[in-house]
Chain A
Amino acid sequence: MAHWTSLSEAVRTHIHDGDTVALEGFTHLIPFAAGHEIIRQGIRNLSLIRMTPDVIYDQLIGAGCARKLTFSWGGNPGVGSLHRLRDAVEQAWPHALELEERSHADMANAYVAGAANLPFAIMRGYSGSDLPKFNTQIRTIRCPFTGEELAATPAVRPDVAVIHAQKADAKGNVLLWGIVGVQKEAVLASKRAIVTVEERVEKLDAPENACVLPGWVVDAVCLVPHGAHPSYAHGYYDRDNVFYRQWDAISRDRESFLAWIKHYILETSDFAEYEQRLAATAGQVVNA
């Protein structure tokens, strides 16, 4: 049952060292504020899952929160590399990062399998690809009806799912729209779920077939306006493409990355203060 709470309380209660955590949101509604709070609380040894690691996991990986990454595309969209992810993989900085690499279709299917309480996903995929040589969890199964050989991969079953959405009502019923990615599946596949929202409303006023997560499948709901920045919240604010470009310079170098994390995350008490510091530097970042 959903409880309205502060983000720091939600993270402290539901995310622990060593957990398997999926912060989802396909380019849109990426739960950046929650990612920052995980860094702020110094949570370690996380097994992170996410289709597109994006800048949010670059921050978590560089800050030393992650032991393992399960993913299917790890870049800075429209800009280039995730330098902290690359540094972890290529130079084991700040420490080694175990990779479990899949394709988008696989990850999407694996979330569906997790939400459906099935042990594995079935799909047509990976034929001729080298990925199954390096991820031995990608296997094959023969269809009992047609004999066709299909790819079989383990369901994704996180301890905790974290998503950002547009609205929630007093009971913690959550509404999201636009590009909804795998957020619904991620919440339903997980043991616990934290949702940050743009707005708390009396009534959701959602159309019948809208993407609504009832409050009783969510554990914590937190009001965090702009909590998806620098990604976007459809109907609220646009993607901060300038920040994504700036991140390339900030993250390229270990020192400038650490200075950024210190100034904007570790030395701030919450997301509102992070925003104040961003505004104070007028989008110009320190040491970048």
Chain B
Amino acid sequence: MSAPAYTTDEMMTVSASRMLRNGAVCFVGIGLPSTAANLARLTHAPEAVLIYESGPIGAKPPVLPLSIGDGNLADTADTVVSTPEIFRYWLQGGRVDVGFLGAAQLDRFANLNTTVIGDYRKPKTRLPGAGGAPEISSSAKEVLIIVRQSKRTFVQKLDFITSVGHLTGGDSRAKLGLPGKGPTAVITDLCILRPDPTTRELMVTHIHPGVTRETILDKTGWAIQFAEGCHATDLPSEHELQTLRNLHQRTAEAHGVVGAEA
């Protein structure tokens, strides 16, 4: 059987969705993380519990939400709680297995910037800010990050650390005494990266089919390392691709626009 045709974004979303195990309690960011988490729920992880910071717990949206608090999240949730309760009882309370985040910028230790490009007080670009991410990245038992890879997103040095990953590497995160173990994988449109067990620096462990090491080097702002035994990511299956495309199609129809990807 020949490999199905797919886009790099589809490869990224499918790869990210596979990281979410069935039954996991997942605190979901809006946009790419929400797409991947819902794809997981519609394929191999029907028992995954999706929590959105606006208050829905166990959301099963029929189409992708455009905002973090769309009505279909509340309609399909097991329960809807207040925002203080979400952060106090459920996230800080230690009930979340996986935090699923995006980012504007990240560095080699998977620290995230969603605050500013440039100087904080005189920013070149003012980004939306922290939202729930600093506490998700510290309190979720582990963190998955999904982001498109480029020299703009994968930078040598962050202008601002909004949410901590592995800080300066080694045992620096452990010394902060955070409850969660931090980012365990970064999934991009080119590859999958995981932190080295000792240095905590991100290493490429899987390269998406058709992507070269040169492309990855070219789209990274630091001298990125490839793990020994780094191999090709499994191709998306027909079922995964069809489920994802149907989800996007339903979403576009529901929102009255084409290309509803946030």
Per the 8 Å Cβ criterion, residues 102-161 of A in contact with B are 102-105, 108-109, 111-112, 123-131, 134, 148-149
Q: Does B55 contact A (CB under 8 A)?
A: yes
Using A27-B67, A134-B120, A239-B70 as known contacts, say yes or no to A127 and B87 having CB atoms under 8 A apart. no
Contact among A124, A131, A179, A234 for B162, CB-based, below 8 A: A131
Question: Size of chain A's interface in residues, with CB distance under 8 A?
Answer: 56
A241 touches B256 (CB 8 A): yes
Contacts of B126 in A (CB 8 A): 74, 81, 85-86, 89-90
- A interface footprint on B117-135 (CB within 8 Å = 1, 0 otherwise): 0001101111011111111
Using A128-B176, A129-B162 as known contacts, say yes or no to A105 and B92 having CB atoms under 8 A apart. yes
In the assembled complex, the Cα of A238 lies from the Cα of B120 at a distance in Å of: 37
A128 touches B131 (CB 8 A): no
Using A130-B160, A241-B256 as known contacts, say yes or no to A104 and B67 having CB atoms under 8 A apart. no
Q: Does A207 contact B (CB under 8 A)?
A: no
A74 touches B133 (CB 8 A): no
A182 touches B178 (CB 8 A): no
Interface locus among B77-85, B191-199, B208-216: B77-85
Contacts of A149 in B (CB 8 A): 177
Using A73-B131, A104-B130 as known contacts, say yes or no to A124 and B138 having CB atoms under 8 A apart. yes
Q: Does B53 contact A (CB under 8 A)?
A: yes
A245 touches B257 (CB 8 A): yes
Q: Does B88 contact A (CB under 8 A)?
A: yes
Q: Name B182's closest neighbour in chain A (CB-CB).
A: A128
Q: Does B74 contact A (CB under 8 A)?
A: yes
Q: Name B167's closest neighbour in chain A (CB-CB).
A: A128
Using A77-B67, A179-B55 as known contacts, say yes or no to A109 and B176 having CB atoms under 8 A apart. no
Using A104-B87, A127-B177, A129-B130 as known contacts, say yes or no to A77 and B161 having CB atoms under 8 A apart. no
Q: Does A71 contact B (CB under 8 A)?
A: yes
B83 touches A104 (CB 8 A): yes
- A interface footprint on B24-49 (CB within 8 Å = 1, 0 otherwise): 00000011000000000000000000
B128 touches A131 (CB 8 A): no
Contacts of B167 in A (CB 8 A): 128
- A interface footprint on B98-137 (CB within 8 Å = 1, 0 otherwise): 0000000000000100010000110111101111111100
Contacts of B74 in A (CB 8 A): 28, 178-179, 234
In the assembled complex, the Cα of A30 lies from the Cα of B202 at a distance in Å of: 41
A/B interface sample: 10 pairs, CB < 8 A:
A26-B83, A28-B54, A89-B123, A104-B83, A109-B84, A123-B87, A125-B138, A129-B162, A134-B120, A134-B121
